[in-house]
Structures are given as structure tokens and as C-alpha cells.
Structure 1
């Protein structure tokens, strides 16, 4: 989330939020559920909150909630700023929604102008202390649900499963879970031979020049790969963290991999830091690359069940080529 705000600034923003709601003709005492006034108490990671049973105006305060809400059939009235080339085609309508600030830096004044009846924010457990000050501001504007997770692989699934009943969409949430589970089971069965005979690696850019990342089962796409029955090469096998950073000189840890996948945008191109890894002569000499088993994955930024299911489609296409 955004940086800790000074108390004086916080007080100003809270006052501005209240003024903004009044200016919009919204009674802050009844904004929680204009449709019915009915609420239910839900458990969040920053305490229990009374939220509308069927919210009508939901703000997604950071990256994940908008995709999860869209899966559940709810179009947010406010979202964070997105890079167009990284938004899946099925979610492009989110690019037309009012923005409330960069990811991790929600503008409380901007949120207030939208007169929401619910604000949803999702982050990592490690960022709890940084989220608290902004949460304190947002909950003065509308009931605010904060959901936290501990890893990329768990994030989208845990938050989606918890959010569905909060917003009154249990049936939709169950259907999404069942569809994903059925797809993984079908893929594992149909490609059992190829999955058993190959070892995979998921690579991306590093944090510094001259480095790259080997992503493990704890990463967003890595978790989907594991669900699909993929076996990782020796450097990633059994690892549950997000991943590990290596230097270019250590690309040989991928020598035992039969398939290598890497992230691309929805225009089909890798971002330049990823392309820099792919351009390394030592990368080009890896057995998997020389065998023509280097594959792009556009749905690597897994943020919801439908995106995860689309990633299974990417994996399925690769496995078909291994048959």
C-alpha cells in the first residue's frame, strides 16, 4: 500500500472525504446500502466490518479486487490505474472505469467522490502495518474490507474465495472454483504422459541488471503450473517460495529442464527486461531452447479464477505440442 501519511494530512483527507460525499448529495449515515439498508458483519484481516449484503457501488482500491469482482459479475465504480498491455482482453472494460490512483496508493478523496457503499483492498500480510493508516481513512468514507495473503500463489485464490460471500455472490464463487478444479483435473488426465516425462522452468527478469528470476510454485503462475501437474527442474523442485534471483552466469541451472516458459504482455511481446534475459547467448544454448521448447505465457499475472483458467489454456497449448 501507499506510504504512511502524517496525522495532519490524514485529518485533512478525512474531512475532505466527508465534504466530498456531502457535495455529491449522499448521506454518509445511509451510504452503506442504499438499496435495502441491510448489512451483515464479516471478518476481515483488519477487524470485523458491517457491509451491505448486496453492494451496488464497489471501489477496488488496488490491483487484485477489480478482476475478482469482475469474475463475480460486479463492475467496480473505481479501480486503480492499470497498464493496458497487461490487462487481459476479457477485462478491458476495467480500463474505462474511474481511477482512484496508482496501485498501492489509493487516493481517499477520489474514492469519496464516487460515493461507494463498499471499498475492497487486498495486500500481503507483510504489508499490514502500511495498510492500516490508509484503511483508517477509507473506512471513514465507506465500509472497507481488507483481505491479506502470504504468497502470490495463494493470493488470488484465497481472496476470491473470501470475497464472494462478502459481496453476496456465493454461487458465482462456487462455480468459478469448480470450473478451475475441473479444468486442472482434465488437463492432468489428458496430458499425463507429457507431464510425467518433462521438467519445466518459469523464468522472468531479475531485480537488477544482469540478473534473472527462476520462479517457484509460490509465484502466481508457478502455482497454476503446479496445479496443472507440471514438474519443475531440480533448481525449483520442492520450492514453495515465490522464486530466486540468479546472475546471467548461472543460467546453467536450467540445463535439466525440457520446457521453459516466460511472461509476455497481451500484445504477445516480452517486456524489455525479460527480453534481455532471452537474448543471452548462454540462454540461447540451453537444451530446452535449442529443442524449440521455449514458450510465452500471456496469462502470467494471475489475479482471479478466470485468469488462472486462461493460464491453464496457455499450458494446455504447450502440452499439446509435446504429445
Structure 2
């Protein structure tokens, strides 16, 4: 009896020691005694490329494609990034620009990633949003380097921000920005509610890619926020149709804008028409529009529309623009 009891006790002790060892292996570091227990834990996230097991507290994140600036906007500090345009960099707050420039550039775009350079950064998480064709080129190879979370290009911006924050472990900043956004939207609705309800708006724009002598009616981008969150009466494509913004309109059709009460158009941070849109404002047709001559053509600054930080800056500009209508 005593021998059996001793054996059982020995077995129990051994099992306890083994369980403790397994627990330490699961939660501990790399064996040097300095590992962060939290960093070794993992969690699952659902993404375009399936359910992905990622670190609970990733430390070395590489952002590719459209994930660069949203992650940085949320306070993230990536170790690797892909290139963004000079115009996007120019409107970043100083600290965000510094965070981008501190990272190693691993490629000009999603499909042109230098995989060897990326791997040398030893990332523990890769965040990706680019065209599905690019994923077909490099997706599996990215997944072989580190856990990779992919978003499709049609992901709604609020969901995109939330999911990046969750994957990148920066949800505290997301919560702060989301609260600020909701407060700002409520303020604009309260302050400018009558104007919004009684006014027919149109948002027009022009990009670097636009053919000479053309412009377009914007129904995507920041105008979506004005329409969907603030409630501006703005034209949009019929359900199932391509956005109006995909149609290039000749300058001769600027006169069509006279049927709207207010025109909004893109300006830079200094309030000047953006370089691509400036040719529109220089036409005699634009200058002769009653909306323009009466001061009801409003320049609005839109630094971006895929994360809360730039959207808040857009709403500040829209708020100021709407305020001028009360004096017209």
C-alpha cells in the first residue's frame, strides 16, 4: 500500500512538473529568460485569407499597401512599409511622417515587395491591403515569412480601422479616435442641421490621373462620409453601377453644376485648390457659375478617408466650410 501510494505521489509530482514545463513553454520567451510572456501568446483573427493565428502583442509589424498610413495613424510604428505617394506624405502630421520615415521601405507597391529585405526585418506580423492580383503574386510567400493578415480593397473604412487596430494591438487609440469622430459628427449635425436638410450639394474633383480638360463628380472618398455620416444631399451612382467618379466629364459640362445649391471641391491644407483641380477653377465656365460668384463653392480639405485621423481633419474642414453658408 505504501509503495503504491509513493508511486502515485511520484507520478502526480512528475505530471505536475510536466504541466508546469508546458505552461512555461507556451507563455515564456525564447529560452534566454528575457522573453515577454504576453508576446508569446497568440490569438486568431479572421481575414480575407482565412483565419490567421497572430501574436497577441506583435512587436515587429510590416505594413504593405493601404495598411501603411492607417496603422501609423493609430499610433503604430511599423518596422517595414511600402512606398506611399509624396502627396500623402505631405499632409501627414509631423509625428506620423517621422514614424513612416523611420521604417524600412520594402517595396514600391504590394506586388513589388522585396521579400528578402522584408524577411531580414524578422517581422512577427504582416498587414496587407492591395489588389487580389498582387496577393496572387506574393501572398503565399508573405505567409511563409510571418503571420499575414489580408484585407480586400472593398473593406469599409471603419471596419478596416477596427480590424487593423485589433490585429496591431492599438485598440486604445482607435477607441479615442472613434469617440472623437462620433462627437464631431454630432456637432456638425446639430450646428448645420438646417443647412444640410435644405441644400442640394455636389462634390467635384479631379486627380493626377484625369485626362486634360476633364473633371468628375465625386461620390466616393470623403464625399461618402459627408453623405453617409453627415447627411449631405449628394449625387451618387445607382446601386450596382460604377461610381460617378469613374466617369470623366469635359470642362464643357461644368455648366451642369449650376443646378446644385452648393459645390464642394478639393483644396490643400492651406485652402488653395489642389494642383490637379486648379485647372477647373481657372476656366471661364467655372468662374461664371452662379454658385461660384455667390460664394457657395466651398473648398474642403480631405487628407484621406481610410482611417479616423484624416477623416477627423476632413470633418473639421467641412465644418468650417458649412459655417460660411450662414452668411451667404
Q: TM-score range by the shorter chain?
A: 0.7 to 0.9
Q: Could you say what secondary structure the match of 2:78 adopts?
A: coil
- Using structure 2 for the length normalisation, give the TM-score: 0.77
How far did residue 322 of structure 1 move? 1.1
| Structure 2 residue 82 is the aligned partner of structure 1 residue 80 | yes
Q: Partner of 1:9 in structure 2?
A: none
CA–CA distance in 2 between the matches of 1:149 and 1:237?
20
> Do the aligned partners of residues 288 and 158 (structure 1) sit closer, same or farther apart at CA in structure 2, a change above 3 Å counting?
same
Contact 2:201 2:263 in 1 (8 A): yes
CA–CA distance in 1 between the matches of 2:259 and 2:302?
25
Find the structure with the greater CA-based Rg: 2
Q: Partner of 1:283 in structure 2?
A: 286
2:125 to 118, 122, 132: 118
Q: Deviations over 1:17-45 (max 9, x none)?
A: xxxxxxxxxx9xxxxx9963211121110
CA–CA distance in 1 between the matches of 2:168 and 2:244?
30
Q: Partner of 1:186 in structure 2?
A: 187
Superposition map of 1:236-255 within 5 A: 236-237=235-236, 239=238, 241=243, 243=245, 244-255=247-258
CA–CA distance in 1 between the matches of 2:269 and 2:128?
25
Give every structure 1 segment of 4 or more consecutive aligned residues whose post-TM-superposition deviation is greater than 6 Å: none
> Do the aligned partners of residues 56 and 95 (structure 1) sit closer, same or farther apart at CA in structure 2, a change above 3 Å counting?
closer
Contact 1:258 1:287 in 2 (8 A): no
| Bigger RCO of structures 1 and 2 (CA < 8 A, at least 6 apart) | 1
Q: Partner of 2:22 in structure 1?
A: none
CA–CA distance in 1 between the matches of 2:158 and 2:214?
30
Larger helix proportion, structure 1 or 2?
2
CA–CA distance in 2 between the matches of 1:103 and 1:41?
27
Q: Partner of 1:23 in structure 2?
A: none
| Structure 2 residue 115 is the aligned partner of structure 1 residue 108 | yes
CA–CA distance in 1 between the matches of 2:165 and 2:251?
43
Q: Partner of 2:176 in structure 1?
A: 175
CA–CA distance in 1 between the matches of 2:283 and 2:162?
41
| Structure 2 residue 121 is the aligned partner of structure 1 residue 148 | no
Q: Could you say what secondary structure the match of 2:302 adopts?
A: helix
Q: Partner of 1:160 in structure 2?
A: 161
Contact 2:126 2:149 in 1 (8 A): yes
> Do the aligned partners of residues 182 and 267 (structure 1) sit closer, same or farther apart at CA in structure 2, a change above 3 Å counting?
closer
2:56 to 53, 56, 64: 53
- Using structure 1 for the length normalisation, give the TM-score: 0.78
Give aligned pairs, total.
Answer: 280
CA–CA distance in 2 between the matches of 1:73 and 1:95?
11
How far did residue 315 of structure 1 move? 0.4
Contact 2:38 2:56 in 1 (8 A): no
CA–CA distance in 2 between the matches of 1:138 and 1:293?
50
How far did residue 246 of structure 1 move? 1.3
Q: Partner of 1:256 in structure 2?
A: 259
Q: Could you say what secondary structure the match of 1:54 adopts?
A: coil
Q: Partner of 1:128 in structure 2?
A: 132
CA–CA distance in 2 between the matches of 1:89 and 1:237?
29
Contact 1:85 1:267 in 2 (8 A): no
CA RMSD after TM alignment: 2.5
Q: Could you say what secondary structure the match of 1:289 adopts?
A: helix
CA–CA distance in 1 between the matches of 2:116 and 2:270?
34
> Do the aligned partners of residues 99 and 130 (structure 1) sit closer, same or farther apart at CA in structure 2, a change above 3 Å counting?
closer
Q: For structure 2, list consecutive stretches of 5 or more residues without a partner in the other structure.
A: 1-29, 31-35
How far did residue 269 of structure 1 move? 4.4
Contact 1:86 1:266 in 2 (8 A): no
Q: For structure 1, list consecutive stretches of 5 or more residues without a partner in the other structure.
A: 1-26, 28-32
Q: Partner of 2:313 in structure 1?
A: 310
How far did residue 300 of structure 1 move? 4.3
How far did residue 190 of structure 1 move? 1.2
How far did residue 184 of structure 1 move? 0.9
CA–CA distance in 2 between the matches of 1:67 and 1:201?
28
